[in-house]
Each structure stands twice: as C-alpha cells, then as structure tokens.
Structure 1
C-alpha cells in the first residue's frame, strides 16, 4: 500500500489587520499560505503589544505598506517548514526575530554589531524575500511586518527570522524576549556595559524602560534613577531595582539640571527609552560631562531630526544607539530563555494584563491610557 504524502495547505485563521494607517485595528479571518523554500510557518500562542506596533497603527514606522499585519513580540510552535529549512522542525517552540540574522551580510561576521542588512531599517520586510506575501484577506494581499506578523494566529517567516527555544519555556511569558525585555536589558548590559557601583538614569518606565532598570541592577549599578511623568509606574520601577523615581513635572527647572545636581557632574549612564527628541537631548545633557554615556533605546518619530550643542560631546560624553539590546538574536535568545528558566531574572513582572486575542483593541487602549506595562494576547 502506497503512503500518501501530506503537504502543508492554506490555513484560515484570525489575525489583526491594519487596513490603513490611522484606522482602528480590525480582527479578520485571513488565509495563510504554506511556507516556501527556507521559510517556516508558526502557530503563534502568545504575543505582546509593543509601542512599535502602535507606531505602525498610526503610520509612524518607516517603510510600511498597508494593509499589514503587525506584531513582533511573539512566541509559538512550528507548524510546518519549507524545503531547505534546517534550524527548526515541526513541533519546536520558537521565537520570531524582528531583527533577522541572515548569516550572509558583513554585519553577521562582525562582533561589533547585531544589525543585519536584511532588516527593515535597511531594506523592506513588507514581503517575503521572494517578493510575495503569505497573507490574504477578503481577496486582497496583506503585507508582512518585520517578517514576524505575530498578530496572526499563523504566520510565515524566513528561517533567518526564527530561533528554537527550550521546549519547557512558557510561551505566554517568554514572548517578551522577542523585543521588550531583550531590548531594555541588553541596552544596559551589552550596549552601555554598565559597571558595578555606577549611576544610571532611565528616561521612560514602560516595559522596555523597566527592562533597562533590571539590566542596570543586574550589572551592579548602585544608583538607578527612574524618570517618568506617570507616577503610577514608580512602585513597579522600585520593585525591579530603581533606587529612586522622579517626575519632571515636579520641578521648575529642566530635568537634566535636576540630575546633574543630584549626582554632582551627571550620571555615568543615561537611557532614553521614550523616543522623544526633547528627552534624547535631555538624557545626553544629564550624563557626566567627561565620561558619561547616553544610550538611545526608544524609536524616534518618523522623519524626525535632532539638533544639539556639539560641546555636549566635546568634553568626552558618548552618544550611541541600541538596536534590540545589541543581541545577535539567533545566538543569544536560547541562552536568555535558558537563564530565565533558571530564574536569573524575572521579566514576568512586566506583564500587567493578559487578554484573549480578540480583545486586541482593548489592549491598545490600555497602552494609550498608560495603564499597562505589557499586555499579552493569547490565541
């Protein structure tokens, strides 16, 4: 008797589609095509709502084509693989990578960077590498986002944008490693290389900012100053390692002057985790004038420009950016998840709300109202 070969078929599932920038997100039934060569189809189990997804919703993320399925902070299980895929197999627990690791470009072999020339910041990830989409809805092509599109129950990505993780990992928790926790924690331990006994200022106490706080604490910083205009975030920040929290609105002078006065000559490390031009220059000005380091973590508004007094750098301050915490994600995420399983850190504390996927609109409302740190959606 001849056995029948079963090939992956088109899957119909629910997804959140952004039809046009500025329009409310809409939960729809979509069709997800099978993976082609060197591609993987994943059943997403859990996904977080990140401020970057809100930028896509509002049309403030560079180079996006609509309609699009956003989402980039997810975790799931491999459903099927295309020809040539060797890094994962059906049934594996995985995390999609919103910054791919292609294994081919000059960045891949350079230990100084985790950037990849396949990423959205260099070339479009709105379609698969062959120039086609795996999503359709109501007869229309729907675009991908960062090759992840975790706001879909099933999604397809190139194998450069996926990594296998511990089979025992809870997907509703480790989805945060896809962006928020890894970005903030890595900004402190990788990009800034915070030292024991140092002083730090963290501008913005959302999910990523609180992850920076955890990274500074893990690195041994003796003073960690959290800065936010939402005082409701101060208790959580102090639980996670902030030694004090301040609200810029409580002072009659610029916050950078307040920080310099508090520390003598400025903090050793400052992290801007908001993506606001004004706080970027304030963070730089709050650094020690001779050796302070300012790390830009928050994504700036689309087409924004910045101007500042170059003398701020002339005396020795340094200004740098941090993309996804500086991690080469294919290499780093399995170890990060493994360390989480060993209870070396607790990003679970960032999760304030868990909702069924159908309530994604409510999740964005919580984000806009400043009531959630991280909202996790479950399929």
Structure 2
C-alpha cells in the first residue's frame, strides 16, 4: 500500500499485551448513572460502554477508590464487592464486543462536599478551599444540583500512606473486575493534582515545597498501581499541565510536567494521557512542549482536547502523539470510529442529559445507519 493512502487513525498499536486496532480512545467522562444506594456500575452502563467498544481503547468514567474519594453524586466506586461485581458486568459486555477497557481510578480530594461524605470533611494536600468551584450533589429530595466544594483539611503523612494503599487495592479490584488496566486521574484539580501543582500545595514536609517533594505522591501512587495490576504496561496516568481546572495551577508547568513525565518514564508506565485545556480562551499548549514531552517519556502518549479527525491524523503523523481521545463526540456518536473512518457528520450531544438520569442521553443516541433511516 502507498504510504500516502495509510490513515494514521486506523493503524494498530501495541500497548503491553493489548493490540489496539485503531488510534481512537474513548476518554473518561462522568455520567452519574451508578445504581443507588451502593454506587455500583450497572447493566445500563454496560450497554453504554459496549455500544462504543469499537474504540481502540476505552477509559471508564472516574471511579472512586474509597469513601472519602467521592466528589459527585451517583458516580461509581470500586472499593466494595458489589461495586466490583457491577464493573464486571461492564467489562464483560465490552469484551464480548471485542473492546478493551481501562478503569480510571479517582480520588477527588478537596473537590467534594460534606453531604457526599456522610458529613465528613474533604481532604487535600493542604487546607485550601477550591473557592468558586462547584460539585454535583443529589440535593433535597434527590433533586440534583451544583454547590460550592466544602473546605478541606490537610492529610497527615500516615493518611497519605493509607491512600496509596487504597490505590493499590483499587488496582487489584479493577483487575478482579475484568479491566485490562487502570488509569490514574492525576489531572483536572483532583487529589494527585493537588499535590503536584504549586498553588494547591502549601506543605512543608516531604510532600511539599520542592518539585521532587510535590511529585512524591504521584510517584508512590503510580508504583502502587503497578503493584496492584502486576504490570507496568497496564497502568496509565492522566495529566493536565495547563488546564487550571478546579483551582489548580502551577507556577512553572513546563518544568513541573516534564519532570513528572521523566519520573513516569523511569517507572515504566504504559501510557501518559495529556488532557489539553479545551474551553474558550484556554491556555494554548505549544508544539514545543508536546515535543519535549515526547522526548521525556518513551511510552505511549494520548492527547485529548477538542480534536477533529483531521487534527488527530496530523498529531499522530507528526509523531508527538500515539493515540487521540475524543470526549464529547463519543457521547452522541456510539459509532464514532466508523464515522471518523467515513468522514461522516457527527451528531451533537445534549448537555441537559450529561449528568444523572437514565437511558435518555446515554444509550439512545442512534448509530449512523439508524440515524439515516
């Protein structure tokens, strides 16, 4: 075949023992449909993910690793036997359709509310409230809504070590549930990010101050996930160097995140997933930064952030990306892979059904053939 006719999006890629048939990733997206009262993944969620099993890789919505890690209403957990069983329903459905799926492991830290934590106070690297940041709660009479995140308390060193153990256990639980691997959510202002970014970490012990200290928690959690899965290549890490989401911002993000990439390269994790800022007037991620990340990290690199098929192809062909994640397009286009292959138009998603509810806005978006008929 002439190289000019090779579509970069549809070339296979080896990720550890997994052969990904294309370079298209379905990234983690919170949908708040877990069964209550146990926050368990369910058959509706299994249908949703199985509809999208054509992706080269699916990363599940954030699934919280312990009770204090929860930050939004009706999100799934992965720390009880029933939660593990619920996720097994999902992984079985995806595998039956020939797909591959990683579990995104999530501890939100300070981005929570006392009503989600049985009245307890959220925890963080430091006692800094994420002012102006809202979280999704059930509300009065189960009427959902957004409220200001509660003020957190700083974690003690012994508590940090316990959370590292919780991550290790969550990775084991994910493997027991049939996932092909795990992704650490170390982006978007959640707990790991609250240790990394300089403006969210005021600690003066071994987990704060210097860059090495601020990266210590990331390092320890990544190694715990490797132990929990039994394979470095079954571990991915999501980072967001420039997003400033949820009140986290670093004074020198290029230095910080290139150091993080080098650290993760030393550990040998299977991939690093970069979440680019994708809102209006968001900070631009320079091409030089992306090339520097490629030089710092030798594993698989995923990028996410308002990519079109054309931009995705250019990124892969340029060599600084291996896989491209398409978030919102996967919400309304269960057959996104086929649409990208054909250059077919994409259906828009409905914002009002993103969080909470049932099948509407989750599993009822039609595939291309159904839409045409």
Q: Would the TM-score normalized by the shorter structure come out above 0.5?
A: no
If each structure's helix is expressed as a fraction of its own residues, which one has the higher value? 2
TM-score, normalised to structure 2, is 0.27
TM-score, normalised to structure 1, is 0.26
Flag the structure with larger Rg: 1
If each structure's strand is expressed as a fraction of its own residues, which one has the higher value? 1
